[in-house]
Chains A and B, each alone.
Chain A
Amino acid sequence: MSNSNKQMVEPSIITREFDAPRQLVFDAWTQVEHLKNWMFPQQGFTCEYVSAEIKPGGTSLHKMTAPNGHEMWLLTKYEEVNSPDTLVFRQYMSNEAGDILPNMQMPNWPKEMRATIKLEDQNGKTKLQLIWQPIDPTKEEAEAFEASRAQHGNGWGAGLEQLTRYLGTL
């Protein structure tokens, strides 16, 4: 299928080094007994996987519960699971049945994002690259994604921290 309006969007990349062997880092991303211990955005959250078929074409559904009881469900669709170095998936906000929820507040936020995890062995330590990119974004979605980039100097930068502090006081 060709799309003449195809937008080119630079992926966002986060790089980290972990003091752990590559296989263990890969397992931490692909085995529920590991995932449930770290796959949540803030301390104090709990994470529970209600289903997990972590293989190409498979999906997982997990629930994150905030300290105030607020629940958030994420559906993950796996595209590539190549032990011990590559994992490719798409993640969606969903309900507890795994139905993908549309983002009502942000109609121009990219509907689909692909995340790629690449692991490199560096003398017993492991370098991780987390690369994410909108899939076939519209022009508006590409702009929204660009605007959200805090990493690359043209985003919110220090302003975001200020904003976060400000919103935190409300």
Chain B
Amino acid sequence: MARAPTTFDSFNAIAEPRRRAIIESLIGKEMTVNQVVETMGWNQPMVSKHLGVLKQVGLVSERKQGRYRVYKVNAAQLKPIQEWVIQFEQYWMNSLDHLENYLNEIQSIEVKDE
């Protein structure tokens, strides 16, 4: 096997924006390589290369359907990523919402007390 330039885990597999776009296009449906090529408007070798990386880390899986291979997103592998992304964006966004509500609440109580 040729020397791999990067050890891929799920997270740096999606560090490449095109691979994120492929995942997003596959959410909730199965597609053949050609259908991904049509959807994205990229050439077939590029699509195959990125699908290969995504398959390697288990983010997409393939199955044979007649003469074709169809690809789908492997949701179980995506979930931990989604949780981490959410942890660092949504986690703080939501916590700051709670801080805002809390500050409003305690200040309105203070006003009533006066």
A and B associate: yes
* B94:A41 contact, CB within 8 angstroms: yes
CA distance A34 to B101 in the complex (A): 12
Considering only residues 26-81 of chain A, those with a C-beta below 8 Å from chain B are 28, 34, 37-43
Q: Which residues of B contact A40 (CB under 8 A)?
A: 95, 98
Q: Describe B's contact surface by its main secondary structure.
A: helix
**Interface residues of B, count at CB 8 A:** 43
Q: Which residue of B lies closest to A107 (CB)?
A: B9
* B98:A38 contact, CB within 8 angstroms: yes
Tell yes or no: A97 within 8 A of B by CB.
no
Q: Which residue of A lies closest to B101 (CB)?
A: A38
Tell yes or no: A24 within 8 A of B by CB.
yes
Q: Mark A1-18, 1 if CB is under 8 A from B, else 0.
A: 000000000001010101
Contact with B6, one of A107, A140, A148 (Cβ below 8 angstroms): A140
- The total number of A-B Cβ pairs within 8 Å is 117
* B10:A106 contact, CB within 8 angstroms: yes
Q: Which residues of A contact B86 (CB under 8 A)?
A: 164
Of A18, A25, A151, which is in contact with the most chain B CB atoms at under 10 Å from its CB? A18
* A154:B98 contact, CB within 8 angstroms: no
Tell yes or no: A144 within 8 A of B by CB.
yes
- Interface band, chain A: 35 or more
CA distance A71 to B96 in the complex (A): 20
Q: Which residues of B contact A41 (CB under 8 A)?
A: 87, 90-91, 94-95
* B103:A19 contact, CB within 8 angstroms: yes
* A25:B103 contact, CB within 8 angstroms: yes
CA distance A12 to B85 in the complex (A): 12
Stretch at the interface among B34-42, B48-56, B62-70, B74-82: B74-82
B92 to chain A, nearest CB (A): 6
Give 19 pairs: A residue, B residue, CB < 8 Å, sorted on A: A12-B89, A14-B93, A16-B96, A28-B103, A38-B102, A40-B98, A109-B84, A113-B88, A128-B96, A130-B92, A147-B12, A148-B84, A156-B20, A159-B21, A162-B24, A162-B27, A164-B86, A166-B27, A167-B75
Hey, which bits of chain A sit against chain B, CB under 8 A? 12, 14, 16, 18-20, 24-25, 28, 34, 37-43, 105-109, 113, 128, 130, 132, 140, 143-144, 146-151, 154-156, 159-160, 162-164, 166-167, 170
20 new A-B contacts, CB < 8 A, other than A109-B84, A140-B7, A164-B86, are A38-B99, A41-B91, A41-B95, A106-B11, A107-B9, A108-B11, A132-B88, A140-B12, A143-B15, A144-B11, A147-B20, A156-B85, A159-B21, A159-B23, A159-B24, A160-B82, A163-B23, A163-B27, A163-B82, A167-B82
